[in-house]
Structure 1
Amino acid sequence: MATLNGKPVSPDELLTLALVNVGHFTSMRVDDGSIRGLPLHMERLTKDCKAVWGADLDTERVRDFVRQALDGPTQPCVVRVTIYDPKVDMGHPADAGEPHVLVTVRGAGAMPPAPLRARSMLYERDLPEVKHVGLFGVLHTRRSAQLAGFDDALFIGREGLVSEGGTWNVGFVDQNGTVVWPQAPVLPGVTMALLQQRAEHRIATVTLEQAKGMAAAFATNTSIGVRALAAIDDTELPTEHPVLDRLRETYLSVPGERP
């Protein structure tokens, strides 16, 4: 299901998004009709709309479109809100600045999914603070990791520091049982923010060697909640840890809000 500004979207209206690929989005898991961290998702859309389009965004209008799209689905699903301008032109992107709201809905998987095996790869996202639609580099590294027998890529910056995964933030549990979030240019994930608000943690630089020496590691995003990492490269990591259990319980205890 896909709507643009609350109406069924046509192929022509999607053509610019497919060919020029400029825009930003947020994805929200919906359980029992409610969304954890909904205000944070709206804040992200507002901030990114200003950064990408130099425009203000009416989040009440966005919530109306989301409510409309969710009128019917009862099973867990993921609703994605993409903000783009169908009139953007590759030769003159500065002329665009009239954001439209594309809402799509897809089914959601079980949470948390099975632990993942990550391959470390040198990669830094363009404009990492914005959740933009430019996903070629992210998906290329994911594909490369999968072709090498892993599930996904763990990004390492040019200075040798761990940053994030392709579509997830990464966190660690050190040998003292403290949650550690990498200090690096990363997308400020909503799930990460909700956990940081509710669970003791520290933020510090993490090298690849340090990451492999942690007591546990995990990925977070709205679709998966808290997902254990089973390995980084050829280093196996425990997928069961009391801190991981507490993080999952903490996240699931966050009350949802209806759009």
Structure 2
Amino acid sequence: MACIEINGVPATADALHLPALNTYGHFTAMQVRDGRVRGLALHLGRLDASARELFGQGVDGERVREYIRGALDAAEVRDASVRVNVYWPDGDERATLMVTVRPPQTMAEGPKSLMSVPFVREVPHIKHLGSFGQNHYLTLAGRAGFDEALLTAPDGLVTEGAITNIAFWDGSSVVWPDAPSLLGMTMALLEPRLPSVRRRVTLADLPSYEAAFITNSQGFAPVRRIDDVEYAVDEELMKTVTAAYDAVEWDLI
């Protein structure tokens, strides 16, 4: 069951009219453990920067933290999946913040399979609402027996997963696709802590890589297959990724 608060108070039917009818906005999603989250400053920075771009004004990080703490207290939990949606109705002096608290989640164990699809998110650097295209292709991938969809541009350029970032291993470097995409929080935390490079990656390049893995707010997992291209799980690579991720400090909300 989800606990939903809007501007710091329990959501009412009237208050839910806004998110029900308005898909113009943005959000961030995080995993909270014992009232803490990895990369809190990145989450707050994402919300502020996206609000400035979409609405012309920023979002106060302390207000966001206050509302998250209040929603966790209302749900009587310390471990949770938390999502903060930002809307800005015309004429309002400040943003409307909707905080949703649900049970904690982790990425399902085991190597993942991805199906490439011809789709690129609009305004991809913003984690925006209204993700029909992503959900559509993720659904098609699931029906075809895959775990995730891999979004690609018309020329076969690899951009990102439907709900993940993807990285490839060339034997010496972790290669993050140099393409329009969302900088996910886990990618943002791992990239500077790994031997990372940004490089253009196309579907035709996939067989040249030794391994791959995906990341999102729930964690990370190795990739075993993209379409017909199969990858072995590089245990040493995954140990390195795990060590880098475990080294990230948890910030008190």
1:17 to 16, 19, 31: 19
Aligned to 1:64: 66
- The 1-side partners of 2:17 and 2:194 are apart by 43
CA-to-partner distance for each residue in 1:101-152, whole Å, 9 max, x for gaps? 1000112234563322100011110100110012101100101111112112
- Paired residue secondary structure (2:179): coil
Would you say the 8 A contact 2:172–2:195 is kept in 1?
no
Match of 2:242 in 1: 248
Rounded to whole Å, the distance in 2 between the matches of 1:111 and 1:31 is: 15
1:250 and 1:48 map into 2 onto residues whose CA distance is 27
Map 1:187-226 onto structure 2 (within 5 A): 187-223=182-218, 225-226=219-220
Distance 2:6 2:165 in 1: 29
5+ residue gaps, structure 1 = 89-94
TM-score normalised per structure 2: 0.93
Which deviates the most, 4-13 or 232-241? 232-241
Listed one character per residue, the Cα deviations across residues 64-106 of structure 1 (whole Å, up to 9, x for unaligned) are: 01111222213x4211110013x46xxxxxx677421100011
Quick one: distance in 1 between partners of 2:13 and 2:246? 38
Of 10, 24, 28, the residue aligned with 1:26 is: 28
Q: Residues 225-236 of structure 1: matches in 2 within 5 Å? A: 225-236=219-230
Tell whether the 8 Å contact from 1:78 to 1:107 is kept in structure 2 after alignment.
yes
Q: Whole-Å Cα distance in 2 between the matches of residues 112 and 31 of structure 1? A: 17
Question: 1:216, 1:241 within 8 Å by CA — same for their partners in 2?
Answer: no
Query: 1:84: which partner in 2?
Result: 87
Aligned length: 249
Do 2:83 and 2:101's aligned partners in 1 also have CA atoms closer than 8 Å?
A: yes
**C-alpha separation between the residues in 1 aligned to 2:107 and 2:11?**
30
Give the Å deviation of 1:213.
Answer: 3.1
CA distance 1:145–1:96, change in 2 (3 Å):
farther
- Following TM superposition, by how much is the alpha carbon of 1:230 offset from its aligned partner in structure 2, in angstroms? 1.6
Letter in 2 for 1:35: V
Q: Compare 132-141 and 105-114 and name the one that shifted more.
A: 105-114
Structure 1: how far apart are the matches of 2:77 and 2:211? 36
- Aligned 1:1-259 pairs, distance under 5 A: 1-71=3-73, 72-74=76-78, 76-85=79-88, 87=89, 98-111=94-107, 113-174=109-170, 176-223=171-218, 225-259=219-253
Cα RMSD after superposing both structures: 1.7
Q: Give the share of equivalent positions with the same residue, in percent.
A: 38
For the Cα contact (< 8 Å) 1:54–1:97, is it kept in 2?
A: no
